[in-house]
Structure 1
Amino acid sequence: MTERGDSRGFSPSVAAIFPLPLTAFERYMLLDDSPGYPMVFALSARLSGEIDRRIFESCFDEVLLRHPLLCALVDRSARRGPVWVLAEKLKPIIDWGPVGAAVASPNGEAIDLGTEAGLRAWVRQGNGAAEVTLQFHHACCDGGGSLRFLGHLLAEYAARTSPAGQKPSPWPANPASLLERGRFMADAAAIEGKAGRIKTAWSGLRDAARWLGRRPASLCPDVSSPANHAAPALFLETHRHVFEESETKMFLQAASRQRATVNDLLLRDFFLTVRQWNAEQSPGSADRWIRIAAPFKLKTAADADMPAANGVSYNFLTRRESECVDHPEFLRGMSRENDPATRFRRGRSFLRGFGLMERIPGAIPLFMGQHRCFATAVLSNLGNVGRFFGTLFPVESGKIVAGNLVLEDIYGAPPVRRNTHAAFGIGTYGGRLWITVRRAPSGLSADGVRRLLEMYADRLLGGNQMPR
């Protein structure tokens, strides 16, 4: 949803950094994008209180100036590869409607970054409540970046509607820092030195050989609703399970008791759930590989002032179905592979490998072919979503207050790639852990993906001694 109008009013210092070359991850998101499997994701925020439309729209336009990649287009005609260009006469607009009105776009979920900015927005409100839905193209930003934008938007709104002395103080967003958004690659190389780079290169080659040699199986379609009979996914269709505060506390205690991180437990139980699902839908094939793609943050505290952008890569964890057993050694294996140093090395190797393949004629179409399954499923854990807001808000009963609004609930889910039939998102807000899942346009039915979600939630509850 965009409209053509006057200049966006970007400062000369912001305009000076464009055209801006795409990073390796941004190019990957762009190449993996297709009308049937768009690389887009949504963020939904439910608020109590009535949004002042005039003030909110003014804040929306103001905050966009601090996050220029959300109102930029991709120019593919540049000799050295695609670049971001400011869409000064093309701005995202907000679609307003009453509670219950459909959230949709005439173009479907896909966003063509050659003609449309990578942000869409809807507000549905009435009876003292509102829901804000934001859709982002993943080439523009990651989940953390989307939360940074929303945090700045709510902070700007609060600054104009809060009583004196209760206005939040957002951390600044420095658009010039976008020039450094791929810096972690260079910084790591400088720290390693020559010997370290050689060791990392060998580790990367070993990881790549394993990655290519272990062809993961897709999630099996649910037998009760075969893929060719499953209804296509609805616009931004997302299913969710929310744990109670007491259950969330017990889960955190379970991680501490087992000397593991929360992410370790989430990954272990996800592998066990996928194995159980595949065994129920297609028994007798325990030698299949299961691969979980786990996005993680590469950005550091030095990037605190960076606007909405991408600062992530993937950690791919792979196991035979027969290896996925509820045993302490399996959890220890998750911990080893989820170790920050291992995760960072693998994430860099993935981006470096993609960059190398871009230089080899024909390598990218082969690597990203329509029939290649990169991962059985995606599991993206944001953790406490409030840490991304970039603002210190007043809090009431664990929920942030933005002027006359209270953020009651918030959730999102990652995009689904071809041949990866489900993508799960995890986060916490207000002391409650939530899990979301999105399904592919075909493969799993809505009922099937809900059963898969509840199967995962039940395992997290029962496997970690979390009574209902």
Structure 2
Amino acid sequence: MPYLPLTLFEQYLLHEDQPGYPSRIVQELQFNGSVNREYFEKSVHEITAMHPLLTATVEKRSFRSPHWRIDDSSTFPIHWHEHGPHSFRPELKRFDITKEVSGELHVIESNDRWTLLLNISHVICDGVASSALLQDILLAYDNRFGKVHHIPSPIPELLPHRSKFGLSISKKIALLPAQVTGLIIAATLAQRRISPLNPAPLEYPEQPDPEGRQNVVSKYLDQSRFDQFQKLTKTSGKSLNDHCLAFLHSAIGTWRNRNGVGSPEDWIRISVPKNLRSKSDLHLPACNVISITPIDRQSKGLSNRERLLRRAHEDMTFIKKGMLSLTFLALLWIHRLRPNGIRKMSHRNICRTTAVLSNIGRVFPLSPLLDENQKLHIENATLEKTITVAPIRPQTQTTLLLSIYGGELCMDLNFDPLALNREKAEELLDDFLAEFKSTLTRETTQPREN
């Protein structure tokens, strides 16, 4: 398998990588304790060798779709730094995926702490896959101290099927009516002029690449409150994702009103990445198996929280039943019919979405390394905190990534410094967090019927 065609979504991500806006995922794991360099490097090489795309490059061919060029002789880079984890930030490389391995690991050591940073092109894999990759590296590392953890074995031969999503021909035929409906809806959405979070110039100047957490703010919903909130979702019949979608729309409305931004007629779009993995994809190597679903609301309706939650639940249920997340991939296929169609779509000088909301769920679900408090332990080290930075693009000024670790809901907001400063980004994330707290307060103080 020396050559492998890029999927439609991989081609889209390839063109999303633009000056000042690298299409990459950065994950940071902060440990208490120490790390054994020799064992860790061997573990990294053992695991990354199982995933062909980690060391592959993209080859653009004339009159043909781009292909992955698999290179089994390349290794995944590891950089070691002897500095205090909180005072030193390594330079994160801006990759040219047509020429080089487009991922790297940084390990920052001090006497009693160490930090692991993964910097990887989004063209290679999504956040679910990068989290699984880090978990397998940690399992392999712990095994070198005499442990016997099972590590799933990826099957590289499945990579050509990574865009089939476990759908049989009969299932695809059954989904056709829903997909036609999805394309009709998409045609309507395409006519809307989407408003950015904060007015910004349409012509963005080239800027230095953001380095790690430089343009990221993080908040946490503590374990006690998150446990309460999960109980609330079970009794309400609305999922965590339903609530988060409604909360982000509401928070954007609150933030814009406070800052005097926009008008009541503005359309606010939140794009939600959707994991499309099926049971048949369990042994896929690291790659992208996702799509995107846009959810629109008008500014004048962002203060009605009950309606926002009801609409979020209705929309997400409708999307799930009809697998309308596939509609975006169908649109990419249509754009690909014209020369450079996907690139032209990606580089349109407009605001395509106000914000992105991504929920990768539990960072290390069902890991044997987790204790009763959902904290991960390896030899001589405990994982205390995780931070994940999802990419932004011109005009899409914020990306909010949610994850669950140690029983807490982690919220990492990547923001565009050309559109808002750190104080304003903190305000937006505070508004989002306040939605959880106010909902819990209302539920605990409202009178119960006898």
Find 2:100's aligned residue among 112, 116, 122: 116
Q: Secondary structure at the match of 1:305?
A: coil
The answer to whether structure 1 residue 268 and structure 2 residue 238 are counterparts is no
Mark the CA change 1:402 to 1:103 in structure 2 (over 3 Å): closer, same or farther. same
The answer to whether structure 1 residue 57 and structure 2 residue 41 are counterparts is yes
Q: Secondary structure at the match of 1:54?
A: helix
Find 2:284's aligned residue among 276, 301, 306: 306
Q: Secondary structure at the match of 2:360?
A: strand
Mark the CA change 1:75 to 1:197 in structure 2 (over 3 Å): closer, same or farther. same
- Residues 103-123 of structure 1: CA deviation (Å, up to 9, x unaligned): 333xx6532101221211111
1:341, distance to aligned residue in structure 2 (A): 4.6
The answer to whether structure 1 residue 359 and structure 2 residue 337 are counterparts is yes
In 2, Cα distance between equivalents of 1:340 and 1:384:
24
In structure 1, the partner of 2:158 is 177
Mark the CA change 1:233 to 1:257 in structure 2 (over 3 Å): closer, same or farther. farther
Q: Is the 8 A contact 1:168 1:394 kept in 2?
A: no
Identify the range of structure 1 (365-374 vs 338-347) with the bigger mean alpha-carbon deviation: 338-347
Please report the TM-score for the alignment, with normalisation by the length of structure 1. 0.87
Mark the CA change 1:352 to 1:31 in structure 2 (over 3 Å): closer, same or farther. same
Q: Is the 8 A contact 1:233 1:440 kept in 2?
A: no
1:84, distance to aligned residue in structure 2 (A): 0.8
Mark the CA change 1:298 to 1:396 in structure 2 (over 3 Å): closer, same or farther. same
Tell me the percent identity.
Answer: 25
- Residues 351-389 of structure 1: CA deviation (Å, up to 9, x unaligned): 1111121112364454223422121001101111222x8
In structure 1, the partner of 2:437 is 461
Please report the TM-score for the alignment, with normalisation by the length of structure 2. 0.90
Q: Secondary structure at the match of 2:232?
A: helix
In structure 2, the partner of 1:187 is 167
Structure 1, unpaired ranges of 5+: 1-16
In 2, Cα distance between equivalents of 1:423 and 1:64:
28
Q: Is the 8 A contact 2:55 2:75 kept in 1?
A: yes
In 2, Cα distance between equivalents of 1:127 and 1:171:
33
1:275, distance to aligned residue in structure 2 (A): 1.1
Q: Which amino acid aligns with 1:191?
A: K
1:221, distance to aligned residue in structure 2 (A): 5.4
In 2, Cα distance between equivalents of 1:202 and 1:314:
17
Mark the CA change 1:77 to 1:104 in structure 2 (over 3 Å): closer, same or farther. farther
Mark the CA change 1:77 to 1:452 in structure 2 (over 3 Å): closer, same or farther. same
Q: Secondary structure at the match of 1:62?
A: helix
The answer to whether structure 1 residue 43 and structure 2 residue 23 are counterparts is no
In 2, Cα distance between equivalents of 1:156 and 1:132:
15
Mark the CA change 1:197 to 1:260 in structure 2 (over 3 Å): closer, same or farther. closer
Q: Which amino acid aligns with 1:353?
A: L
Q: Is the 8 A contact 1:220 1:282 kept in 2?
A: no
Q: Secondary structure at the match of 2:69?
A: strand
Q: What root-mean-square deviation, in Å, do the aligned CA atoms of Structure 1 and Structure 2 show?
A: 2.5
1:283, distance to aligned residue in structure 2 (A): 4.6
Q: Is the 8 A contact 1:189 1:197 kept in 2?
A: no
Structure 1: which 4+ aligned runs deviate by more than 4 Å?
231-234
Q: Is the 8 A contact 1:37 1:441 kept in 2?
A: no
- Residues 250-274 of structure 1: CA deviation (Å, up to 9, x unaligned): 2212222322001111111100001
Identify the range of structure 1 (243-252 vs 90-99) with the bigger mean alpha-carbon deviation: 90-99
Q: Is the 8 A contact 2:175 2:323 kept in 1?
A: no
In 2, Cα distance between equivalents of 1:367 and 1:374:
10
- Residues 202-230 of structure 1: CA deviation (Å, up to 9, x unaligned): 212212112202221001159xxxx999x
In structure 2, the partner of 1:85 is 69
In 1, Cα distance between equivalents of 2:339 and 2:69:
27
In structure 1, the partner of 2:88 is 102
In 2, Cα distance between equivalents of 1:191 and 1:228:
43
The answer to whether structure 1 residue 210 and structure 2 residue 188 are counterparts is yes
1:288, distance to aligned residue in structure 2 (A): 0.2
Structure 2, unpaired ranges of 5+: 445-450
1:87, distance to aligned residue in structure 2 (A): 3.5
In 2, Cα distance between equivalents of 1:187 and 1:228:
41
In structure 2, the partner of 1:347 is 325
The answer to whether structure 1 residue 316 and structure 2 residue 294 are counterparts is yes
In 2, Cα distance between equivalents of 1:284 and 1:443:
14
Q: Secondary structure at the match of 1:169?
A: coil
In 2, Cα distance between equivalents of 1:26 and 1:366:
15
Q: Is the 8 A contact 1:395 1:401 kept in 2?
A: yes
In 1, Cα distance between equivalents of 2:62 and 2:286:
24
Q: Is the 8 A contact 1:298 1:344 kept in 2?
A: no
